[in-house]
Amino acid sequence: MKIKAYMQRFEQQGLFFKLFIVMVVSIIAVCLLTSLVTIRMSERLFTETFSITNSKVLNQIKTSMESLNDSIVNAVSHASQNGTVKNYLAGGDGDSISAGATYFSMGQQMKQIKSNVDAYDVGVTMVGVNGRSYTSDWSYWPVDTSDLADSMITKHTVDQPRRLMYQYDEETAKDGKENYIIASKALMERTSDFLYGTIYVAIREDQFKRFYSNFTSTGNDVLILDSNGRIVSSNQDKLIGTFSPQLLKDVTEMQEQQMSYKNADVMGKNHIILSNYIPEYDFYLVNLIDRQYAVGQIINVRDIALICIAIVAAALLTVFLISRRLTQSLTRLVRQMSTITEKDFGNYVNVTGSYEVQELSRAFNYMLDELNDYIARLLETQKEQRNAELAALQRQINPHFLYNTLASIKMLVQKGNKETAAETINALISLLQNTISNVSETITIEQELENMKNYVFINHVRYGGKVQVNYFVSPDCMDYHVPKLIIQPFIENAFFHAFNEKGAGVIYIMVSRQDDMLVCEVVDNGDGMDGFSDSAEGSRLPNPKSKRQLFTGIGVQNVHNRITLLYGEQYGVSISSKKGQGTKVKVTLPLILEPMSDDMS
């Protein structure tokens, strides 16, 4: 029972829930989609902007690196064209004085050569074929100059003596490992191509780093890649000296296709790669932007999520309130309307709620008005139809009755019973007079009694007095109006059907007032019938197929219908009967003092 009530409740709220859930899903979907699209767009915009600004930054770094290269080129060409240097590196040992002089002037030259690169913190080292070396700062690049001649750096340099090349080197100094980028060039006698030494310009990696360290930040890394794929410099110290062939592949591909940027996985993370080739160094200047981190920086997922949640919550609250109001008035309307099914067309709904609901209520009320109007008119029409039918029946006085009555009068006249004949004719006249008039007119009980007496008299004349009729009419009932020919059909019924076996008996006609009703009873002590219980709730109607009456043709069934039609269901005819004991017909009518004003003409 409870579950049923709950289900009913749920059903009633169904519309609201459906509406609300659709709204929830829509709002969340819109919010998510909008956020996603926005994030996507800003990501792309960010990437574009970032690649443009960072390309400029890369160009700037490149320019600074080129100016270092220019300085180094100046220093190297200064050294390679210098006789003192050549003398120092290629000449033989003399005595202390000449050696001292050579060393001294080499020192002076070194200062001049070094002055070319003084803007940078670099170390210049020269090694000659005679085994001599000269270093501007021995601690800067603590390499053993005697081993240097056999090093890969020197080998590469000597292989391409006309080229200034940059190579990676690492030295283990007292205070840990230090990374270098070594610019080296063979010193060559122009005329004979004799290589008399090598000049090395050592640049500490942290010096190199200064070119770009201002531009780097978390997620925005710069690294410099040589043509072997070795990372020679980076703001990420742990990467220095490592090889990254994949990155080299990426940047060479970018260079070939002239891509401004590329998205690729580097070191297990998705990066935006920007690169710039620096031909002087044969290095690639690479900028790696950690996509996830960088995007995470500009797009605050937490804030977006919070804003989304706030908007969704606010929208849902609004939607909840509005749809709740909407559906509530609808629900109320529906509840009110549902009472119509209980055959109560007078149940008008309250015009409240939203505009639509109000319109609907108005329309519904209008419809009820119309419906009630139509029902009233239908009832009226039915009543009229019945009246017309009755009138038609009433006006057809059964010819047999007239024929028989007239035959009886002829007999009386022939027998010479003139008085009885005259009385009979009077009774017939009176009867016809009362009968052949407006069928819906009411007459007083007194007049009806008169009619009944006339009718009984005529019947006595025709069939003899075997059936006695006694009247018991309460005097205070005499002035109440009843429809014409209400009781007559029952008397006729009793006359011609109640005494077929017994042959003689008595009919009692009793009219009295009970509560607010007028009760007319026709009781006989004749044969009686089966199938009519004596109980009050017993079948009220006699055999529906009752024969047409001899006098007017108005049957018992018609009487009942007429009463209920005129006065309502609470009035009507009830019959109780028992075989061998007689029949009792009870007609209940309202108390009417005025003649019924019927518009029937």
Residues that bind other proteins (CB under 8 A): 95-97, 99-108, 110, 133-135, 137-139, 142, 145, 174-175, 303, 306-307, 310-311, 314-315, 318
Q: DSSP secondary-structure letter at 299?
A: S
Comparing CB distances to other proteins, the nearer of 138 and 472 is 138
Name the minimum Å distance from CB 177 to other proteins: 14
* Backbone torsions φ then ψ of 33, nearest 5 degrees: -60, -45
Comparing CB distances to other proteins, the nearer of 122 and 482 is 122
Comparing CB distances to other proteins, the nearer of 69 and 82 is 82
Name the minimum Å distance from CB 199 to other proteins: 14
Comparing CB distances to other proteins, the nearer of 134 and 196 is 134
467-473 and 269-278: which strand pairing?
A: unpaired
Neighbouring residues of 297: CB distance < 8 A, sequence distance ≥ 6: 219
The residue ranges of DSSP E strands in 75-219, in sequence order, are 122-128, 133-135, 165-173, 176-188, 195-204
Name the minimum Å distance from CB 323 to other proteins: 13
Q: What is the dihedral of CA 476, 479, 484, 489, to 10 degrees?
A: 20
Name the minimum Å distance from CB 109 to other proteins: 11
Name the token pair of 283.
């290095």
The residue ranges of DSSP E strands in 174-282, in sequence order, are 176-188, 195-204, 220-226, 231-234, 262-266, 269-278
Strand, coil or helix: what is 588? strand
Give CA–CA dist 141/118, Å, rounded: 16
Give CA–CA dist 559/567, Å, rounded: 12
CB 278 within 8 A of CB 65: yes
Name the minimum Å distance from CB 63 to other proteins: 26
Give CA–CA dist 34/13, Å, rounded: 31
Name the minimum Å distance from CB 377 to other proteins: 48
Name the minimum Å distance from CB 318 to other proteins: 7
Comparing CB distances to other proteins, the nearer of 123 and 542 is 123
Comparing CB distances to other proteins, the nearer of 133 and 179 is 133
The CA–CA distances, whole Å, from 317 to 25, 34, 143, 349 equal 14, 20, 75, 30
CB 336 within 8 A of CB 329: no
Comparing CB distances to other proteins, the nearer of 63 and 146 is 146
CA atoms within 13 A on the CB side of 38: 13
Name the minimum Å distance from CB 98 to other proteins: 8
Give CA–CA dist 307/576, Å, rounded: 85
Closest CA to 573 of 472, 482, 444: 482
Apex 191 CA angle, 187 and 197, nearest 5:
15
Neighbouring residues of 482: CB distance < 8 A, sequence distance ≥ 6: 442, 443, 444, 445, 448, 518, 520, 589, 592
Name the minimum Å distance from CB 49 to other proteins: 23
Comparing CB distances to other proteins, the nearer of 310 and 406 is 310
Name the minimum Å distance from CB 132 to other proteins: 8
Name the minimum Å distance from CB 35 to other proteins: 14
Q: Is 44 left (phi over 0), alpha (psi -120 to 50) or beta?
A: alpha
Spatial strand order of the sheet with 262-266 comes to 231-234, 220-226, 283-290, 269-278, 262-266
Comparing CB distances to other proteins, the nearer of 142 and 590 is 142
Comparing CB distances to other proteins, the nearer of 29 and 310 is 310
Amino acid, res. 231: I
Comparing CB distances to other proteins, the nearer of 106 and 449 is 106
Name the minimum Å distance from CB 95 to other proteins: 5
Amino acid, res. 428: L
Name the minimum Å distance from CB 131 to other proteins: 11
Comparing CB distances to other proteins, the nearer of 107 and 531 is 107
Query: DSSP letter string over 481-543?
Result: EEETTSSHHHHHHIIIIITTTT--EEEEEEEEEETTEEEEEEEE-S---SS--SSTTS--S--
Name the minimum Å distance from CB 71 to other proteins: 19
Name the minimum Å distance from CB 29 to other proteins: 17
Q: Is 503 left (phi over 0), alpha (psi -120 to 50) or beta?
A: left
Comparing CB distances to other proteins, the nearer of 97 and 152 is 97
Give CA–CA dist 322/301, Å, rounded: 31
Tell me the Cα Rg of the chain: 65
| H or E stretch covering 583 | strand 582-590
Comparing CB distances to other proteins, the nearer of 300 and 533 is 300
Neighbouring residues of 132: CB distance < 8 A, sequence distance ≥ 6: 88, 89
Comparing CB distances to other proteins, the nearer of 132 and 291 is 132
